[in-house]
């Protein structure tokens, strides 16, 4: 089961204990975060998986989709920056 986070761009995470790796997963074109809901069960406990949920998909379907690649890259990088350490 994917957990909601305080960042609308990220779904998932294990929460709790510190982890060695924070894994950011990008869904395929036309997909969404739910396609990866079972991944956490297959990954070691040291990996904290987050799926990047793009606007216009699943719970964010009312938001305008990113349609220009350069704009998408910059927007996604800015949205993920607080989660990088």
Q: Are 33 and 58 in contact (CB under 8 A)?
A: yes
- Does pLDDT of 10 surpass 70? yes
Reported as half-sphere exposure (CB side, CA atoms, 13 A), residue 44 has a value of 7
Q: Name the token pair of 14.
A: 């294990």
16-33 pLDDT tens trace: 667 788 899 998 888 888
For the residues of 41-81, what is the DSSP string, one character each?
Answer: HHS-TTEEEEEE--TTSGGGTTSPPP--HHHHHHHHHHHHG
* Range in 3-7, 58-62, 77-81 the model is least confident about: 3-7
Please tell me the total number of residues recorded for the chain in this structure: 85
Across residues 44-59, what is the average pLDDT? Answer: 87
Rounded to two decimals, the pTM is 0.77
pLDDT at 1: 46
């Amino acid at each position: 089961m994917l957990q909601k986070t305080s960042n609308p761009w990220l779904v998932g995470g294990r929460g709790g204990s510190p982890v060695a790796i924070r894994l950011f997963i990008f869904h395929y074109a036309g997909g969404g975060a739910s396609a990866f809901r079972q991944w956490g069960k297959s990954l070691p406990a040291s990996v904290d998986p987050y799926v990047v949920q793009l606007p216009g998909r699943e719970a964010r379907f009312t938001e305008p989709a990113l349609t220009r690649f350069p704009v998408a890259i910059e927007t996604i990088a800015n949205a993920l920056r607080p989660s990088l350490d």
